[in-house]
Structures are given as C-alpha cells and as structure tokens.
C-alpha cells in the first residue's frame, strides 16, 4: 500500500484566512475530540434543512443517470454548464451526498434580502452574474443586476432535496436536448426527478440562520406586558406624568390596600373617556 501523503482537496476562496489547528497527541482519547472538531468546522459542507439556511457559497448537484452533474458557470464562455462529476462515486469512493466542490466554477453565492423567502444565485467566478429565468423558461447567468427574473424560491423537500421555483411559479429542471446534451430549463409545472437537486452549504451559514431564528423567537417569547407601565406611557398626558386629583389619589390608594387596584384603574379610565366625549 502506498504511504504517499494525500493533499487535501478542500476548496478555498480568495482572501479566506487559513486557520491553524493545534497539534495533539495521537491517542485514542483525543481522536474522538478531533472528530467532533471536524464536524463543527465552519467550512464543512452540509445539507440545509430549512430554506432560510440556503445562503453563502452553494454547491448544486443533480443525481442524473448514469453520472451525477453539478451546476457550473463557465466564465470563459459566460454561460451555465452542467458538468459531469468524475467517476469517483463508487462503492470505494465518496457517496454523492459526501461530494464537495473541487473548483470555484462549481460554487454559487446565494444572497437574500432579510426576511424574504426568495434568493439570488450569483456566480462565484468572473464578474458575478446572477442566474435568471425568463418567461419562456430560458435559464442564463449574464445579468449584473437583480430583478424579478433573478429571484428563486427554494423549497426543501421531505427527503432533503431542493426544488427552485422562479417568479413565474415554474421549477428549475435538467432537460435533455438534441444530441443528448443536458441543459437547465425553468418551465416545469411540477416537481419530479428532473426538478430535484442536492444542495450543500457551509456549516457556518447554517449556524448563522439558526442564530437569527433564535433571536426572532427569543424576542417574541421574552416580551411581556407591564400593564401599569403601558398605561402610564400610552394613556397618560404631560410627557408620561400621571395627572390625577387628590380625590382620585385617595381612591386609588384605598383600592391598592384592598387589592382591587386594577379594577379601580379601569373604572377611572372609563370615567376619563366618558368625560372627554361629553
């Protein structure tokens, strides 16, 4: 068996800083920790579980037969091409779901407006063109500006695969044209085999989506209503000062001692409303 060291094929982007890893003793106790650290690597390619997680560098693969294909952008010819993945997908090699991009042409950059269900797919090479689809179903990546035809709505299916719906409510698909050539189309009415893609994103962007979701849910869960403060702020006059008469003050003081302050406040509010409109 050859003992030649295999060079990592991990894809790196221009300007990305290389993180130094600490050296550890190679023993049984630390191997589990190293494996856990590898799983938590922010650059690990993972499958999204929610449409909101699809963001950042994105790898799109279709399980075509006999060979799977990736959606690439050829910056030389300025066009989208469906690239046949190498024959490494065997019983001895990585499975299709374990495949990761090995060249920048296979990577798209997904962006979205905060809170919007739609995304934009921009090329990772060249000048950064957006994938678009016109009303005839023609898919291209030659536009520098974003508009309705550059918007896609990702739909995560129960099996983890993803379908992309365009602004015309049609789906992105892989279509075979004359000569057996494969190309992308955007005019499918339903989601079948041709419309289903495996999508991989980087772990750090999936985590980012989770953090945003927690913040949104946390705000709605933590908010509590302080009735006295709310009434003071929104129902008082004089810059929030409670202006009451001596008689009302005595009545409220008595109600507080008797444990019926809330009822007294509501009675006073109703009285003020009736006086205002009389």
Mark whether 84 and 44 lie in a shared domain.
Answer: yes
Residues of the chain with pLDDT under 70: 1-40, 87-94, 219-246, 272-278
Mark whether 238 and 170 lie in a shared domain.
Answer: no
240 belongs to a structural domain = yes
Domain coverage including residue 179: 36-217
Mark whether 139 and 265 lie in a shared domain.
Answer: no
Mark whether 176 and 234 lie in a shared domain.
Answer: no
Strands 56-62 and 107-111: antiparallel
Q: Does the global pTM surpass 0.75? A: no
Write out the two tokens for 160: 């983890």
| Predicted pLDDT of residue 98 | 87
The torsion defined by the Cα of 23, 27, 31 and 32, in degrees rounded to 10, comes to -130
The number of domains in the chain is: 2
165-217 pLDDT, tens digit per residue, is 999 999 999 998 877 789 999 999 999 999 999 999 999 999 998 888 888 77
């Amino acid at each position: 068996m050859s003992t030649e060291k295999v060079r990592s094929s991990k894809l790196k982007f221009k300007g990305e800083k290389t993180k130094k890893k600490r050296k550890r003793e190679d023993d049984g106790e630390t191997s589990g920790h190293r494996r856990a650290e590898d799983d938590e690597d922010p650059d690990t390619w993972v499958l999204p579980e929610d449409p909101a997680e699809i963001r950042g560098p994105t790898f799109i693969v279709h399980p075509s037969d006999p060979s799977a294909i990736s959606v690439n952008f050829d910056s030389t010819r300025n066009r989208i091409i469906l690239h046949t993945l190498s024959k490494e997908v065997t019983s001895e090699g990585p499975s299709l779901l374990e495949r990761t991009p090995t060249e920048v042409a296979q990577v798209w950059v997904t962006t979205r407006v905060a809170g919007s269900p739609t995304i934009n797919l921009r090329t990772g090479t060249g000048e950064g063109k957006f994938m678009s689809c016109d009303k005839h179903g023609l898919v291209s990546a030659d536009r520098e500006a974003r508009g309705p035809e550059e918007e896609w709505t990702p739909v995560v299916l129960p099996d983890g695969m993803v379908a992309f719906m365009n602004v015309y409510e049609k789906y992105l698909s892989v279509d075979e044209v004359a000569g057996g050539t494969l190309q992308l189309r955007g005019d499918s009415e339903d989601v079948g085999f041709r419309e289903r893609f495996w999508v991989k994103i980087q772990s750090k962007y999936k985590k980012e989506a989770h953090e945003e979701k927690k913040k949104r849910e946390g705000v709605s869960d933590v908010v509590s209503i302080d009735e006295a403060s709310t009434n003071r702020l929104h129902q008082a006059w004089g810059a929030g000062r409670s202006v009451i008469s001596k008689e009302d003050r005595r009545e409220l003081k008595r109600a507080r001692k008797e444990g019926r302050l809330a009822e007294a406040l509501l009675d006073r509010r109703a009285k003020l409303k009736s006086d205002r409109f009389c």
